[in-house]
Structure 1
Amino acid sequence: MTRIIEKTNPRLTSLISLLKNKGRENEAKIWREIANRLETPNRNYAEVNLSKINRYAQNGETIIVPGKVLGSGVLEQSVKVAALNFSASATSKIRDAKGQCMTIEQLIKDNPKGSGVRILR
């Protein structure tokens, strides 16, 4: 018999339900994909370094990370980064590069259709 384990973090459960609702309302598949990735166990969450964001993002682009952004590497372009969590060094390096750190909830509010957003993991 399989065990059903639910998330105990109230912020995470409300975020997952918000993502599913916005995905249905706006017919945006990106929010459903992020919700599916956040429903997985914590050990499967993405951990993305700034060097990877620098490698794959264009200047002025919006990036979403369904996990944590870490501060290893250098960020040379101005990007908007939305993630579940940020390390302290990552937030300072993103702000030094004239970028913007935001939560996934803020990104949903700013861009409900999810257009022009790239997922990194």
Structure 2
Amino acid sequence: MSKKTQNKIERKSDPRVPSLIVSLKEQARQEDAAIWRDIARRLEKPRKNYAEVNLSKLNRNATDDEIVLVPGKVLGAGILKRSVAVAALGFSASAKEKIAENGGRCITIEEIMKEKPAGSGIRILI
């Protein structure tokens, strides 16, 4: 890792993000899975550029029993009528509640990396 990249990662305000970025890159190398490298690159950017996805967008773009990964935060605006597993950096309280009401799951990016190490069957939503 170059010094420039390392300095950029170390400056993150959320202490969880730098270690997550390193884990994502390591997983990408081990499994030859481009999805984890893509998510790491998205999280290296400034936080203001992270994805913020409302439940209404999840409802439009996901199918039942699908795994959706959001490289940012899931917000509770809108109605969710699908049972989906959502992996994200963060969730609003109302988003967690609405996802659970529909039989879905809210999981962290770290957890989805352990469940699906190769990254297959995951849809990225930004």
Q: Report the TM range for the smaller structure's normalisation.
A: over 0.9
- The aligned amino acid for 2:39 is I
1:48 alignment counterpart: 53
Residues 42-63 of structure 1: CA deviation (Å, up to 9, x unaligned) = 1100000000000000111000
After TM superposition, list the pairs within 5 Å mapping 1:30-109 onto structure 2.
30-109=35-114
Task: Give 4+ residue runs of structure 1 displaced > 3 Å after superposition.
Answer: none
2:116 alignment counterpart: 111
- The aligned amino acid for 1:45 is Y
Deviation at residue 29 of structure 1 after TM alignment: 0.2
Distance 2:12 2:94 in 1: 28
- Give the unaligned 5+ runs of structure 1: none
Q: TM-score, normalised by structure 1?
A: 0.95
Deviation at residue 102 of structure 1 after TM alignment: 0.1
What is the DSSP-based 3-state SS (H/G/I as helix, E as strand, rest coil) of the residue aligned with 1:101? strand
Indicate which of 13, 20, 33 corresponds to 2:18: 13
2:34 is aligned with 1:29? yes
- The aligned amino acid for 1:14 is S
* Percentage identity across paired residues of the two chains: 56
Q: TM-score, normalised by structure 2?
A: 0.91
What is the DSSP-based 3-state SS (H/G/I as helix, E as strand, rest coil) of the residue aligned with 2:90? strand
- Give the unaligned 5+ runs of structure 2: none
Deviation at residue 9 of structure 1 after TM alignment: 2.7
RMSD of the alignment, in Å?
1.3
Residues 26-75 of structure 1: CA deviation (Å, up to 9, x unaligned) = 00000000000000001100000000000000111000000000000111
Deviation at residue 10 of structure 1 after TM alignment: 2.2
Distance 1:77 1:8 in 2: 33
- The aligned amino acid for 2:122 is V
Distance 2:13 2:52 in 1: 21
